[in-house]
Amino acid sequence: MLQLLRGLVLLPLSLASASCVEARPAHPALWKVSSPTSTIYFLGTIHALPKGEDWHTPAIIKAEAEADTLVLELSDGADHDKITSAINALAFAPNLPDVLDRVPANKRAKVEAVLAHGETPLAALKNYKTWAVFFFAINPQLFKTLGVDGDEGVEHKLTADFTAAHKQIDGLETVRSQLGIFDALPEALQRRLLVESIDDIPRAKAEFYQSLRAWEAGDPAAIARSFDTDLKSEPQLARVLLHDRNANWAQWTIARLKKPGVTLVAVGAGHLAGNDSLLAMLRAKGLKIVRVG
């Protein structure tokens, strides 16, 4: 479950500083699709990385230089006012039951122990919707355990590069629309998500670094395999996080190809791997996708 959420969702979290993890040169896969007037590069990303990860391959550097526009998952991921507004609008609600009353009795001790290590007191979490308990109370602890940092993530670095070059930066979604995916989930699924995510914590580090190595090697098949268990175990979540969003982005790509220019699209690596990926959907529509890195 944690694997699915980390790979497919880019939420505006304040992440812990990365610990000292040996950096390795990475060669993430890069694809291209073209029309007579437009070129779009697709780069699968890891949203938070160990410090010093070196993924700027010659192919990615070339794509950055050619592109006049960077397109990320979120159009407002760096706008703190919009992030705060979205969180305030969606993450909290009055008269909610205590968090521990939302999970099975045999899971309460484990949930309480994990939440006790967070920065938000357990009593205050009563005001958080169930999905928000995971994202804003558990996820920051998880990133500390993994030794990764959002400021080291691919999106953060690309944003800095394009900002320095005075190039346009756009997004496929907004913070509010991405949070809205979870806010729309049935409460029973939100509660299962919370419990399963806590159950997954002991395996989280090994699973994350398995996915990271697959990404570093530019191996989309291995990336797809790393998500396969979660995709099968939670088909409703996989549909709203992966299939539906990829379908929307495929339509966006087709429209974008009708406009002149060169675009670099950077989205979570899980969106570009597997049979239900954005690239697979574009191929099914007759577009020729070429791997260039």
Cβ(282)–Cβ(42) under 8 Å?
no
- Read off the pLDDT of residues 89-121 as tens digits, 9 standing for 90 and up: 999 999 999 999 999 999 999 999 988 888 888
CA dihedral defined by 62, 160, 88, 148, rounded to 10 degrees? 80
Percent of the chain with pLDDT over 90: 63
Is residue 160 a part of any domain in this protein? yes
Q: H or E segment at 155?
A: helix 154-164
Contact residues for 105 (Cβ-Cβ < 8 A; gap 6+): none
pLDDT at position 243 is 94
pLDDT of residue 268: 94
pLDDT tens digits, one per residue of 9-67: 665 544 444 444 455 789 999 999 999 999 999 999 998 888 889 999 999 999 999 99
Give the SS3 label for residue 30: strand
- In whole angstroms, what is the distance from residue 176 CA to residue 195 CA? 24
Q: From CA 89, how far away is CA 99, in angstroms rounded?
A: 20
For the chain, the domain total comes to 1
* 126 occurs within a structural domain: no
Inside any domain, residue 123: no
Pairing of the two strands 290-291 and 38-45: unpaired
Position 219 in a domain? yes
Q: Which domain holds residue 218?
A: 2-15+25-89+134-291
Q: What is the pLDDT of residue 288?
A: 98
Examine residue 128 and state whether it is found in any structural domain, yes or no: no
Identify which of 61-70, 87-96, 134-143, 150-159 has the greatest average pLDDT. Answer: 61-70
Spatial distance between the Cα atoms of 126 and 85, rounded to a whole number of angstroms: 20
Task: Specify if 113 maps to a domain.
Answer: no
Q: Could you tell me if residue 154 is inside a domain? A: yes
Q: How far is CA 15 from CA 64, 150, 188, in A?
A: 26, 6, 28
The pTM of the full predicted model, rounded to 2 decimals, is 0.92
Has residue 179 been placed in a domain?
yes
Return the structure tokens found at 281.
Answer: 């959907």
